[in-house]
Amino acid sequence: MTLSAPIHQLKRKARLLSRREQIPLHTALDRIATEEGYRSWSLLVAKQPRTTSARRLLPCLQPGDLVLMAGRPGQGKTLASLALLAEAMKAGHRGVFLTLEYTPADVAGRLRAIGIEPDEFAGLFECDCSDAISADYITATLAAAPPGTVAVIDYLQLLDQRRDTPELAIQVTTLKAFARERGLILVFISQVDRAYEASGKPFPDIADVRLPNPLDLALFDKTCFLNKGEARIQVAA
């Protein structure tokens, strides 16, 4: 069911309704959800594709996993990865979003787009937008992270852009060993080659991942391919 507006706009509408009619916010949220065709606000949020994908993916993950989350532009990779972090944090795990693409304000806006206020996870959520993000930077940043921490790297191909860092294959191999040693879950957002759009396949697959330089994709323990609001989750053989 398509919403009339993004979730963060519906949430703002509910706040205005709450103030205007002097009713509790949860009552206003439920009323907005009813207008959108859902019985409650919690059901509206739970039924959104990116949140559903995150809830399906999280139980599949184990400490030490490397995860590839891939899709063409506009297919919700960033929102799905943030929803995954939110699900992990709801379970009491730390969530870290390392991005070479966005500012902290951008990330906060995308969290709100899936109905999440960043302050809900104070002390558990960290957004790192450093230009220095690389395997060495990530291992240093997460050196003291507790086991079970979920960290999203946005995105895989950008690790391969700088001349002063090792080649991508070396960086990913380093991060795999680090994740297993520390009991962390590392999720890499990845681009998919534009040729996929002419393939007729319902979902991209490992052969569609865009790789300017060689990388053994068997290093990834789990994959999640996104297309048209749906997700295909696979476990490496």
Q: How confident is the model at residue 70 (pLDDT cuts 50, 70, 90)?
A: very high
List strand residue ranges (DSSP E) for the chain, in order: 66-71, 95-99, 125-128, 150-154, 185-191, 222-227, 230-235
Does some domain include residue 1? no
Given a cut of 80, is residue 20 above it in pLDDT?
A: yes
In this prediction, residue 112 carries a pLDDT of 82
Count: domains in the chain? 2
Q: Does residue 156 sit in the same domain as residue 200?
A: yes
Q: What is the mean pLDDT of residues 45-68?
A: 86
Q: Does residue 12 sit in the same domain as residue 65?
A: no
- CATH code of the domain containing 84: 3.40.50.300
In this prediction, residue 67 carries a pLDDT of 98
Mean confidence (pLDDT) of the chain = 92
Question: Can you tell me whether residue 149 is helix, strand or coil?
Answer: coil
Q: Does residue 231 sit in the same domain as residue 141?
A: yes
Q: Does residue 154 sit in the same domain as residue 88?
A: yes
Q: What is the mean pLDDT of residues 1-21?
A: 86
Q: Does residue 35 sit in the same domain as residue 144?
A: no
In this prediction, residue 115 carries a pLDDT of 79
Q: Does residue 28 sit in the same domain as residue 59?
A: no
pLDDT tens by residue, 134-159: 999 999 999 999 999 999 999 999 99
User: How far is it, in rounded angstroms, from Cα 126 to Cα 220?
Assistant: 24
Does some domain include residue 209? yes
Does some domain include residue 114? yes
Q: Does residue 197 sit in the same domain as residue 216?
A: yes
Q: Read off φ and ψ for residue 147, nearest 5 degrees.
A: -55, 145
In this prediction, residue 143 carries a pLDDT of 97
In this prediction, residue 222 carries a pLDDT of 96
Check residue 146 and report its DSSP letter. Answer: P
Looking at per-residue pLDDT, the higher value among 207 and 50 belongs to 207
Q: Does residue 27 sit in the same domain as residue 132?
A: no
Q: Does residue 20 sit in the same domain as residue 85?
A: no
Given a cut of 90, is residue 225 above it in pLDDT?
A: yes
Q: What is the mean pLDDT of residues 181-209?
A: 96
Choose among 49, 40, 33: nearest CA to 84. Answer: 49
Does some domain include residue 2? no
In this prediction, residue 1 carries a pLDDT of 64
Q: Does residue 42 sit in the same domain as residue 98?
A: no
Choose among 221, 77, 93, 230: nearest CA to 155. Answer: 77
In this prediction, residue 237 carries a pLDDT of 61
Does some domain include residue 12? yes
Choose among 212, 210, 204: nearest CA to 234. Answer: 204
Q: What is the mean pLDDT of residues 97-114?
A: 90
In this prediction, residue 43 carries a pLDDT of 81
In this prediction, residue 46 carries a pLDDT of 67
Does some domain include residue 143? yes
Q: Which domain holds residue 30?
A: 7-46
Q: Does residue 126 sit in the same domain as residue 41?
A: no
Q: Does residue 124 sit in the same domain as residue 173?
A: yes
Q: What is the pTM (predicted TM-score) of this model?
A: 0.83
